[in-house]
Amino acid sequence: MRVSRRLDRTSMRLVSQNRLALRSRGGFTIIELVVAMIIMTVGVLALATGSAGVAKQMRAGNQAGLASVIAQGRLETIRSLGCSSLANGTATTRGMTEKWTITWISSRARAVTESVTYVPRAKVSRTLALASVVPCA
């Protein structure tokens, strides 16, 4: 009988050690998982907000570049006309408003100021102004 009691005690020790091993197994608690998910959510939302800001800046840059191309094209057109046919004017090109003024400098040159008004984002209006001198032959 004593032998069997010893075996029972030994088996009980093994069972209790196995339970301790199961309890001390490494892993994450539910609280740690929830905290990690909250941190990840905040990070993803910050990235989304940042990308929206980048998209707005890209649109504003594209609009400014387009306004510059339009103004430069108008100045080239005015330069090619010759002094006798130069006149002030306005136009709308690609949804942007252009205005150019011709100022008499001398009999040999005219000053040209070209301004283009564009909208980089809602409720914001910007004006790009270029100036040049047109020589008269």
Tell me what pLDDT residue 110 has.
93
pLDDT tens, position by position, 8-29? 556 656 666 666 555 666 788 8
Tell me what pLDDT residue 136 has.
86
Instruction: Kindly provide the residue ranges of all beta strands, DSSP E only, lying in 33-123, ordered along the sequence.
Output: 89-93, 96-106, 109-121
Tell me what pLDDT residue 1 has.
47
Tell me what pLDDT residue 137 has.
75
Residues of the chain with pLDDT under 50: 1
**At which residue do the structure tokens 């909208």 appear?**
119
Q: How far is CA 115 from CA 66, 108, 122, 129, in A?
A: 13, 24, 20, 4
Tell me what pLDDT residue 104 has.
92
Output DSSP code: residue 94: T
Tell me what pLDDT residue 12 has.
59
How far is it, in rounded angstroms, from Cα 135 to Cα 137?
A: 7
- The domain segmentation of the chain, as residue ranges, is 45-137
Tell me what pLDDT residue 17 has.
64
Cβ neighbours of residue 137 closer than 8 Å, sequence gap 6 or more: 82, 83
Tell me what pLDDT residue 90 has.
95
Tell me what pLDDT residue 9 has.
59
Per-residue buried b or exposed e for 34-71, using 16+ beta carbons within 10 Å of the residue's own CB: eeeeeeeeeeeeeeeeeeeeeeeeeebeebeebbeebb
Q: What is the pTM of this model?
A: 0.66
